[in-house]
Amino acid sequence: MQHKVIDAQEVAIRFTGDSGDGMQLTGTLFADASALFGNEISTFPDFPAEIRAPHGLVAGVSGFQVHIGSKEIKTPGDFCDVLVAMNPAALKANAKWTKPTATIIMDSDAFDEEGITKAGYKTMNPVEEMKMQDRNIIFAPISSLTKESLKDSGLDVKSAIRCKNMFALGICFYMFNRPLHFTEEYFENKFENKPALIEVNKKVLRDGFHYAGNIHAIPNTYQIQPAKMPKGTYRNINGNQATAWGLIAAAEKAGRPLFCGSYPITPATSILEELALRKDLGVKTLQCEDEIAGICTSIGAAYAGNFAVTTTSGPGLSLKSEALGLAMITELPLVVVNVQRSGPSTGIPTKTEQTDLYQALYGRNGECPIAIIAAHSPSHCFESAFYAGKFAMEHMMPVILLTEGFLGNGSEPWRISNMSDYPSITPPVVTQSDGPFHPFKRDEKRLARQWAFPGTSGLEHRVGGLEKDNNGSVSSDPLVHERMVGERAAKVAKLADFIPMQEVLGAQSGDILIVGWGGTYGHLYTALKDLEEEGHTNIGLAHFDYIFPLPKNTAEIFGRFKKIIVCELNSGQFADYLRTKFPQYHYLQRNKVQGQPFIVTEIVSAVKAIL
Amino acid sequence: MLYTPQDFKSNQEVKWCPGCGDYAILAAVQRAMPEICESLGYTRERFVFASGIGCSSRFPYYMNTYGFHGIHGRASAIATGIKVANPTLSVWQITGDGDAMAIGGNHLIHAIRRNIDINILLFNNQIYGLTKGQYSPTSPLGIVTKTSPFGTVEHPFNPGSLVLGSRGTFFARSLDVEMKLTQEIMVASAQHDGTAVTEILQNCVIFNDGTHSGITDKEVRGDRTIVLRHGEPMIFGKNREKGLMLDGLQIVVATIGQNGVTEKDLLVHDAHVPNPGIHMMLVNMSPDDGLPLALGVIRAVKDKTYDDNVRDQVINIRKKADIKCMDDLLRSGATWEVE
């Protein structure tokens, strides 16, 4: 058979298997190797809440989709070109995500009667039952080949078979002509202290690679050339790591130590983990007894002069609500990161959603407006966290940063900047006072109060949850209260003078304005590009990073389009918010609350339906 | 001395009920401050008083120091954050029985477990005062209050055993009326490295008046309390005629001079013994069982503090770290160049 190497602009590969099969790692290694090769990438882990869900069941299937390209890649891809299914359950759960032209690689060893029955098939022919017989089907005895590959390695059979994910990875590397050395270097670093495992993993990866070349079941392989990305130094980064780094960057710029009080919660935990690693940069992390202590230790740290942050996900933000009010009334800088997940309550904790917008906007007692920033891509979490820190410290107020599980766990290449490219952060620190220090005296520009650190002589003062007058005395005077409520709200509103104007992508005026916020950016942007390619050049996209306050030109932008369609992963929270802010416009909606990101074609169809 | 108690009085009007036990505690703390400054070389700006919610939690407003009046139950967490953020500060948490042991119980035990170097003053009046008279986690079984009109059916906490059970390194007890003793304990608390909890039995004149009178009344105080001092024999009684002895595994009261008991037979207080066994017996003594209530510093043992450990870890890692700044971090690990 003639072997052909075909140039492809983009491909999506979906690795799926039992939640203990190592699919997240396999996908990550494929993504990293592609990123280092120079492709654009976007990744999407899609896994169950259970760490080792029952073996062989559909509910326990873990997936990781990688989208790589030589062109611009903004989403993990709607449907995949290659599906790796390590067992019948994985095929059952993921067949729907394959393109009609897809190749499906399956571990034939797992497709025995027991495996097929366990996955709940009605017949003994899963491929036909899933109507996949027209796909390019490759049944490879991955488990037994892995066992064979390692028979002289000294590993016991069970441990040997556990390396089968690397065999599957080797097959994919062959299919897409990926160099092996990036992954081999990973093994060398990862198993530095267990050299035997370096050789074992390298061998299985290479054997998988050569097997794919030998079986002739893969007539064509694909070459995805490096993408034309702007010149610079790049790294692959996921959203939670980028968030952690953005917070550290803000602390460094402000010259304040970073303190993070937090409690582990999916999918936010890896921010705390990343910060805990960074003792080398002086980061202090306190893994607290609960979410409330997470924010309250941070409030204490902010009072004492640190740049304080707390990281959480939806239910954790609920627990922090009362303390958020305390941070707001004491006018202390604090960044609260909410990596949103599916709710209410525990919901589907490993799945992504944008359903905490109402909570972020309104979820507190009393009049308690809090600034909200949303990140729109994994790497954008860095900048978002940086600016959340800058605004919190310079304006002396809490800021909520909304990211999403989709962003936190997803990754993409990121061009590294120098810290000198970022603006300074100058919190209004006060070191002396002529006469008594009045904690709630404000500057005219930002309406921010001054930050006086305990330990500074002559600035002794008391703050707290009770209403105060501007000089810091407790007051229940009705008019003082009303004035202070107004001053605090005006301070938050004033932030609009400091955030960038809203940009519109695509048409600057015309028929339809697509409106989005947060992690849907990649899908909305790709939909816009697809529509443009089809000749629809009268469509714009306004994707909001600044949610509260909104950019000053928001209404003006809305006025330039005949129709507005707000697309979000909830039942219409941003649309409703816009209705309260700008009731003069009519807002159409495209919503999805399935714990899954949009599919680009869903957006394209929704827009076409109103053209 | 550099300061007088007057230097620690803020310009805020004190708003506790007339006759409230809190006044005496405030005065004792303000009197202790100059002595603490003298003994530890502190200046006033180093002090931060943090509190939760409740009558006692208004305390920070009355101290001319840094102060943070928090939300209900969370003072331990707030104080922890302050101390970790700046370990040079002298951090004091003011709390009550409801604030510390009901809504704030989780934060309290974890602060103690971590041994963060803060001072916790727990005003125990066995009642919710600010919400006007509901039973608290320290109210005695059967007490009739607005939320227990037929008497409570739940057992109270003993704050001392809660502290020791949380692996506390310092526990002391005083009475609001024993101002000198409170003052003395405050100095010991400040000198202790680690979480120092002082329970102060305090009278709520409005909602639980006289709840401690069986102990605090002048006529009975001598016989129903014992002030423990490290290295001293455990002697008490109106005429200092009684002492405590160990009989098997029980602490018993003996009269000096009777049955051949001399001072040498009495227990000598050792606040520094790491094993909390004897301290647990001492904090649980009660006149209800015929034993005097233990006052003074009952336990003060040395152990590494949380804030020291945090600081040491950062210092040690920074010494050998390759990553010194954000720019280093951004370029660490796997990166690639696009020309």
Interface of A with B in 297-326 (CB under 8 A): 297-306, 308, 322-323, 325-326
Look up the CATH number of domain A4-223: 3.40.920.10
Contact of B337 with chain A, judged by CB distance below 8 Å, is answered with yes
DSSP assignments along A471-498, one per residue = TS-B---HHHHHHHHHHHHHHHHHGGGT
The residue assigned the tokens 């002069």 is A305
A296 touching chain B per CB within 8 A: yes
For residue B105, which phi and psi values (nearest 5 degrees)? -55, -40
How close B28 gets to chain A, by Cα (Å)? 20
CA-based radius of gyration for chain B: 22
**Per-residue CA distances from A415 to A28, A71, A236 (Å):** 19, 16, 9
By Cβ distance, the residue of B67, B70, B317 closest to A296 is: B70
Chain B: closest CA distance from residue A441 (Å): 17
The whole-angstrom separation of Cα B339 and Cα B31 is 71
- State the Cα–Cα distance between residues A116 and A120, nearest whole angstrom: 7
Distance from CA of B59 to the nearest CA of A (A): 11
| Domain spans, chain B | 5-211
Q: Determine the Cα–Cα distance for residues A27 and A45; give it in Å rounded to an integer.
A: 8
Low pLDDT (below 50) residues in chain A? 1
Q: Which B residues, 101 through 140, put their C-beta within 8 Å of a C-beta on chain A?
A: 106-107, 109-110
Burial environment of residue A523 by CB neighbours within 10 A (0 to 12, 13 to 18, 19 or more) = buried
Q: How far apart are CA A353 and CA A334, in angstroms?
A: 24
Q: Does residue A591 sit in helix, strand or coil?
A: strand
Burial of residue B155 (CB within 10 Å: 0-12, 13-18, 19+) is exposed
Task: Give the closest of A236, A289, A418 to B106, CB-based.
Answer: A289
Query: The sheet that has B47-51: what strands, in order across it?
Result: A462-464, B66-69, B47-51, B90-96, B118-124, B196-201, B170-175, B293-300, B225-228
- pLDDT at residue A396, as a whole number: 98
CB contact under 8 A, A416 and B318: no
Distance from CA of A251 to the nearest CA of B (A): 10
- The maximal CA–CA distance of chain A, rounded, in angstroms, is 90
Do A454 and B86 count as a contact with CB atoms less than 8 A apart? yes
Residues A268 and A400: their CA atoms lie apart, in Å, by 14
- CATH fold of B5-211 reads Rossmann fold (3.40.50)
Residue contact A35–B325, C-beta within 8 A: no
Q: What is the pLDDT of residue A218?
A: 81
| Neighbour tally for B147: CB within 10 Å | 12
**Strand, coil or helix: what is B127?**
strand
Q: What percent of chain B has pLDDT over 70?
A: 100
Pairing of β A462-464 and β A40-46: unpaired
For A523-586, give the DSSP string.
Answer: HHHHHHHHHHHTT--SEEEEEESEEESPPTTHHHHHTTEEEEEEEESSSSHHHHHHHHH-TTS-
Please, which residues have CB within 8 angstroms of residue B41's CB and are 6 or more apart in sequence? Answer: none
CB-CB contact of A15 with A64 (8 Å): yes
Q: How far is the alpha carbon of B256 from chain A, nearest alpha carbon, in Å?
A: 49
Contacts of A308 (CB under 8 A, 6+ apart): A259, A260, A261, A298, A299, A301, A302, A332, A333, A334, A335, B81, B85
Q: What is the dihedral of CA B331, A184, A174, A137, to 10 degrees?
A: -100
Q: Do A297 and B84 touch (CB under 8 A)?
A: yes
Cα separation, B242 vs B255, whole angstroms:
4
Q: Which residues contact A241 (CB under 8 A, 6 or more apart)?
A: A270, A271, A274
Residue type, B156: P
By three-state DSSP, how is residue A102 classified?
Answer: strand
φ, ψ dihedrals at B86, nearest 5°: -145, 90
Average pLDDT, chain B: 96
Give the 3-state DSSP-derived string for A442-458, with helices as H, strands as E and coil as C: CCCCCCCCCEECCCCCC
Q: Does B315 touch chain A (CB under 8 A)?
A: no
**CB–CB of A86/A64 below 8 Å?**
no
* Residues B81, A419: C-beta atoms closer than 8 Å: no
Could you tell me if residue A138 is left (phi over 0), alpha (psi between -120 and 50 degrees) or otherwise beta? Answer: beta
Q: In Å, how far is A312's CA from the nearest CA of chain B?
A: 17
Which 3 state secondary structure label does DSSP give B94?
strand
A-interface mutation test, from B82, B99, B309, most A Cβ less than 10 A away: B82
Q: What is the pTM of this model?
A: 0.95
- Which residues 125-164 of chain A have a CB within 8 Å of chain B? none
User: Considering the domain A505-610 in this protein, what is its CATH number?
Assistant: 3.40.50.920
Strands (E), chain B: 47-51, 66-69, 90-96, 118-124, 127-128, 134-135, 170-175, 196-201, 225-228, 235-236, 242-247, 250-255, 293-300, 335-338
Copy the structure tokens of residue A22. 């190592």
Distant-in-sequence, close-in-space partners of A330: CB < 8 Å, separation ≥ 6: A299, A303, A463, A464, A465, B68
CA torsion sign for A73, A74, A80, A85 is positive
Question: Looking at chain A, which residue has its C-alpha nearest residue B60?
Answer: A462
Q: Can you tell me the mean pLDDT for B47-63?
A: 96
Peptide bond into A549 cis (omega under 30): yes
Please tell me which of the candidates B12, B61, B317 has its beta carbon nearest to residue A279: B317
The CA-CA-CA angle for residues A40, A44, A46, to 5°, reads: 165
Report d(CA A578, CA A576) in Å as an integer. 5
- pLDDT over threshold 90, residue B339: no
- Cβ neighbors of B327 (< 8 A, separation 6 or more) are A418, A419
> Which chain A residues are Cβ-neighbours of B309 within 8 angstroms?
none
Q: Is A191 on the interface with B (CB under 8 A)?
A: no
Chain A residues in contact with B109 by the CB 8 A cut-off are: 289
Specify which residues A336 forms β-bridges with. Answer: A310, A400
**Cα dihedral value A134, A135, A136, A140, nearest 10:** -110
Flag if B60 and A233 touch (Cβ within 8 Å).
no
DSSP character at residue B157: P
- Whether A213 and A174 have beta carbons less than 8 Å apart is answered as yes
CB contact under 8 A, A281 and B78: no
3-state secondary structure of B26: helix
CA distances to B163, B166, B285 from B280, in Å: 10, 12, 9
Q: How far is CA A432 from CA A394, A435, A500, B7, in A?
A: 18, 9, 34, 19
Instruction: For residues A117 and A56, give the distance between their C-alpha atoms in angstroms, rounded to a whole number.
Output: 9
**Which candidate from B64, B107, B310 shows the least CB-CB separation from A284?**
B310
The half-sphere exposure of B219 on its side-chain side, counting CA atoms within 13 A, is: 2
For residue range B95-145, list pLDDT tens digits in order: 999 999 999 999 999 999 999 999 999 999 999 999 999 999 999 999 999
Is B50 near chain A, with CB under 8 Å?
A: yes
pLDDT confidence bin for B1, thresholds 50/70/90 = confident
Q: Say yes or no: B82 contacts chain A, CB-CB below 8 A.
A: yes
Cβ separation B66–A306 shorter than 8 A? no
The helix (run of H) or strand (run of E) holding residue B161 is: helix B159-165
Pairing of strands A546-548, A371-374: antiparallel
DSSP at A412: E
Contacts of A296 in chain B (CB under 8 A): 70-71, 74, 77-78, 81, 107
Residues of A in contact with B42 (CB under 8 A): none
Q: Tokens at residue A3, please? A: 């072997």
> Which residue of chain B has the CA closest to A462?
B67
φ, ψ for residue B235, nearest 5 deg: -115, 140
Q: Summarize pLDDT for A502-522 with one digit per residue, the tens.
A: 999 999 999 999 999 999 999
Q: From the CA of B324, how many Å to the nearest CA of chain A?
A: 6
Alpha helices in A215-362 (DSSP H): 239-254, 269-277, 291-303, 314-330, 357-362
Give CA–CA dist A86/A90, Å, rounded.
6
Q: Report the amino acid identity of residue B85.
A: A
> What's the CATH code, domain A239-417?
3.40.50.970
**B80, A278: Cβ pair inside 8 Å?**
no
**Does A245 contact chain B (CB < 8 Å)?**
yes
Considering only alpha carbons, which residue of chain A is nearest residue B15? A474
Furthest CA-CA distance within chain B:
97
Interfacial A residues in 563-592 facing B (CB < 8 Å): none
Number of other residues whose CB lies within 10 A of the CB of residue B237: 17
Summarize the confidence of residues B35-55 as an average pLDDT. 97
